Amino acid sequence: MAEDSFTALVTAIRDELAALEAEDAGAIEAATATKIAALQAVSADLAAGAPVARALLEQARDLNAEAAQKARAKLSSVERRLEAVAVVAGRPPALCYGRNGRWA
């Protein structure tokens, strides 16, 4: 049944959010792989002409946006910590190309 794939996608994204919250790298990797498989199942169901479970897809979209935001925040936090450790270790801050088109 096609709706099962939509429900599985929502569940997979909720699991990914829980793994991000727990900061468990192994769980994040596993949950992300499960989410990708669920996305592929939804895509296959839609390609086969299954009806769109709009409410579930909207829920998945919102949850996925939340997961992406949490992942970006965690990445930013890790980057700041790594930069601080590098400075303490005597390495100069890395040069990076900024959004304004200049070296930062």
> What does the DSSP 8-state code read for residue 48?
T
Q: Is residue 99 part of a domain?
A: no
Q: Is residue 100 part of a domain?
A: no
Domain that holds residue 6: 2-88
Q: Is residue 60 part of a domain?
A: yes
Q: State the total domains in the chain.
A: 1
Q: Is residue 21 part of a domain?
A: yes
Q: Is residue 73 part of a domain?
A: yes
Q: Residue 6 corresponds to which tokens in the numbers above? A: 């939509």
Q: Is residue 102 part of a domain?
A: no
Q: List all residues 6 or more positions away from 94 whose beta carbon is below 8 Å from its beta carbon.
A: 83, 86
Per-residue pLDDT of the chain (104 residues; tens, 9 = 90+): 667 999 999 999 999 999 999 989 899 999 999 999 999 999 999 999 999 999 999 999 999 999 999 988 888 888 888 888 887 888 776 666 666 666 55
Q: Is residue 103 part of a domain?
A: no
Helices 25-47 and 2-22, packing angle to 10 deg: 160
Q: Which H or E element spans position 52?
A: none
Q: Is residue 17 part of a domain?
A: yes
Has this prediction a pTM greater than 0.85? no
